[in-house]
Amino acid sequence: MIARTLEEALAPIADGCVLAVPREASGVAMAATRALIRRGVRDLHLIALPTSGLQADLLIGAGCVKTIETSAVSLGEFGPAPRFTAAVTSGALRVKDATCPALHAAFQAAEKGVPFMPLRGLLGSDVLAHRKDWKVIGNPFDDDDDQIVLLPAIRPDVALFHAPLADREGNVWIGRDRELATMAHAAAKTVVTVEKLHEGTLFDDHLLAAGALGGLYVEAIAVVQKGAWPLALADHYSADAAHLREYAHMAASAHGFSAYLDRHVYAQRAA
């Protein structure tokens, strides 16, 4: 359960894997992402719950992603995600454009073990027009013509995120970032990196237990201090703004991105 190395914990993320990752505010496993790039993972079907930023941009730029399903990819205050933008405009990346609540709902369908979830909105949009896997039906509980969109459940092969704490039984403390629990419930396997191990069991303390994800759902855990760097881990450390600015600058060109990978991904085996 507690892996000896980060690389060992990441073994379930094979080439072609359907990999779910969280939004930047919720705990992104950036050290693990760099390790995946070093390993040379290929053909990922990346699903962001419900958006991504640096993580998706790095994986796309490094050639690890075949398809991305997301509501947005952006570096937020640091601008557009340059490698995502370049890959889409060159036709190198397939994008399944979604909207945030559609991804949340589709993960919830998988979490419940039901085949689909209905969602309001979407009708008349080109988001819906380009999603042949989404269907429109008449509300069966309404006598009038009330159309509603159905979204198939999303059941990823692996969910990957970073969290503050885990115990030796494999329970993980996620606090109020509850979509991490939804991701783990929906995925076949969940891989987590954590800042540190908690001595004892999270369920022995009712305050910690309220924010815990049971080890039942967790395949592997690796301890990686500052595992979200250069992104923030909420309530623990803030984002490294200088580094993110450097990334936005370097990744603006393919050449600069390659230099970034050499400097911050390939050269730093421990990072």
Partner 1 sequence: MDFPLISIGTYMPNAPRDALQSFRDEELLADVIARLIGDARHVAIGASSPIPAAAALLARERGHGRPYVSLLGSRRHSFFTDGGRELFDCAGQGRIDVFFLSGGQIDGKGNINLVAIGDYARPAVRFPGSFGSSYLYYVVPKVILFRLEHSPRTLVEKVDFISAPGTSASNIYRPGGPVALVTNRCLFTFDRSRRRFELASVHPGHTVAEVIENTGFDFDHAPRVPVTPSPSAETLRILRSIVAPQLVEVYRRFAADVFGVAEVA
Using CB under 8 A, list all residues that contact partner 1: 23, 25-26, 49-51, 70-74, 76-77, 79-81, 84-85, 88-89, 91, 97-102, 104-105, 108, 119-128, 130, 144-148, 176-182, 234-235, 238, 241
CB of 212 to partner 1, least distance (A): 14
Residue placing its CB nearer to partner 1 in the complex, 35 or 93: 93
Nearer to partner 1, 38 or 135 (CB): 135
Residue 182 or residue 193: which is nearer to partner 1 going by CB? 182
Q: How far is the CB of 84 from partner 1 (least distance, A)?
A: 8
What are the angstrom distances between the C-alpha of 149 and each of 81, 107, 125, 128, 134? 30, 15, 11, 9, 7
Neighbours of 155 (CB within 10 A): 16
In the complex with partner 1, the residue whose CB is nearer, 122 or 265, is 122
**Beta carbon nearer to partner 1, 37 or 102:** 102
Q: Tell the smallest beta-carbon distance from residue 163 to partner 1 (Å).
A: 14
Question: Least distance (Å) from partner 1 to the CB of residue 160?
Answer: 16
CB of 35 to partner 1, least distance (A): 26
